[in-house]
Structures are given as C-alpha cells and as structure tokens.
A and B are shown apart, each in its own frame.
Chain A
Amino acid sequence: GQSLEQPSEVTAVEGAIVQINCTYQTSGFYGLSWYQQHDGGAPTFLSYNALDGLEETGRFSSFLSRSDSYGYLLLQELQMKDSASYFCAVSQAGTALIFGKGTTLSVSS
C-alpha cells in the first residue's frame, strides 16, 4: 500500500521556526511536493524536491532524504497568515499527486 505520515497538528508563535515532517511509503517515487491550504480553499504549491537536500524559497525551505523516505517543510519567521494546513504529496510515475493527511499549523501572537 501507499502511506504518507505527517503530524496532524502543530502550534507555534509568531516569529518562531516550525518543521513539519513527512515520511512516506509508496510504490514508485519521483519526488515530494508541499502544498498549503487555507480553510478548505484551493491547495497552493509551495515546493518540490526530487533530489536529496534542502531547497529554499524565501521563508520556506523543504528537505528530502530519499534513503530515509523522509522529508520536511521548514517555515521560518512565522506569521499569522501562515496558519493553514500543509500537505506533503508524492509524485509517482504519472501525474497524480498522492497527498498525506495534512498538518494543521496554528500560529498565535
């Protein structure tokens, strides 16, 4: 079967750093994406890792270790607007994204 595991909830304060982990077990793996979703709205793309290592995009960074079937999303200098659900998603041979169950991030002042 296929599974992606991520924490269900994370809380943090403004200005802090938070890491959302994702472990995966899938048949076939091309890369790991991260999507953000506010209050059931449209998921929006944040990042994609195909190779091991860290990818940085502004306040957000994403990491992948293919040998450990593990990745994480790192959010720095948290802002209230970062409160949302964050989904890791695996790309396999086709175009389908296989999503994890999502992590709800709550940022407080």
Chain B
Amino acid sequence: EPEVTQTPSHQVTQMGQEVILRCVPISNHLYFYWYRQILGQKVEFLVSFYNNEISEKSEIFDDQFSVERPDGSNFTLKIRSTKLEDSAMYFCASSESRLAGTEQYFGPGTRLTVT
C-alpha cells in the first residue's frame, strides 16, 4: 500500500540553526501539507501546497518557514532559524484532491528537538 515517508525520524538541532525536513508524498497525489504537533497537544495545520505554490498557510507559518518541491518526488519544510518553541513532531501529508473531506494520508512524522 502506498505511504507517505519522512526523513529523518528524529532531528536534534541547536537554537538558531536551519533545519530541513523531508517528505515523499504518495506518488499520484497532487496536494501536500505540513502539520505539527507539540507533545501532548493537538495537530496544527501549517501549510498546503499545490502546483508548486502555497495554497494556504496558517498564522504559525511565518517568514522563518518555507516549503519546496525540489524535484518530482520530494517535498520539504525548511525552518530558517529554529527556536525552542519549534520543538514538535512535524507531519507531512498528501491527498488526491482538494475536495473537503478528502482523506489526507499522513507520514510517520519527524520529531524535531531544538536545544
């Protein structure tokens, strides 16, 4: 069964450093997302991406965040200058369409720890 994959599974970085989280969405999906989940809290939407541009972003997705689809398979989230409060699990997701309620397939997540 096709699945979303993410690397690395765990990333430890120092405050102020840049990190890039990588995702490979399901191959025939056209819509890609990043969510984050601070430990013990709810899943929060960051950004959606379609046709090589951002479709929608939340208030959390400020200028320190960026997304890119550098090739035909990878989808990345870059955090330019990490802060302690960026420590969270980051989930990538993809879907076939943008219709409301379309199942979003989540990857296993990257646990980011900022020290």
A91 B101 Cβ-Cβ under 8 A = yes
- The reply to whether the CB of B55 lies closer than 8 angstroms to some CB of chain A is yes
How many residues on chain B are close to A (CB under 8 Å)? 30
The docked-state distance in angstroms from the alpha carbon of A45 to that of B104 is: 7
Residues of B93-110 whose CB lies within 8 A of A: 95, 98, 100-109
B56 A30 Cβ-Cβ under 8 A = no
Residues of B within 8 A of A96 (CB): 33, 45, 48, 56, 58
A interface, size bucket: 20 to 34
Residues of A within 8 A of B43 (CB): 35, 37, 43, 87, 89, 97, 99, 102
- The reply to whether the CB of B89 lies closer than 8 angstroms to some CB of chain A is yes
Min CB distance B40 to A, Å, is: 9
Q: Which B residues have a C-beta under 8 Å from some C-beta of A?
A: 4, 31, 33, 35, 37, 39, 41-45, 48, 50, 55-56, 58, 89, 91, 95, 98, 100-109
Pick 26 A–B contacts, CB within 8 A, sort by A: A31-B100, A35-B43, A37-B43, A40-B37, A41-B109, A42-B91, A42-B107, A43-B91, A48-B101, A87-B43, A89-B43, A91-B100, A94-B56, A94-B98, A95-B48, A95-B50, A95-B55, A95-B98, A96-B33, A96-B48, A96-B58, A98-B45, A99-B45, A100-B42, A101-B42, A102-B42
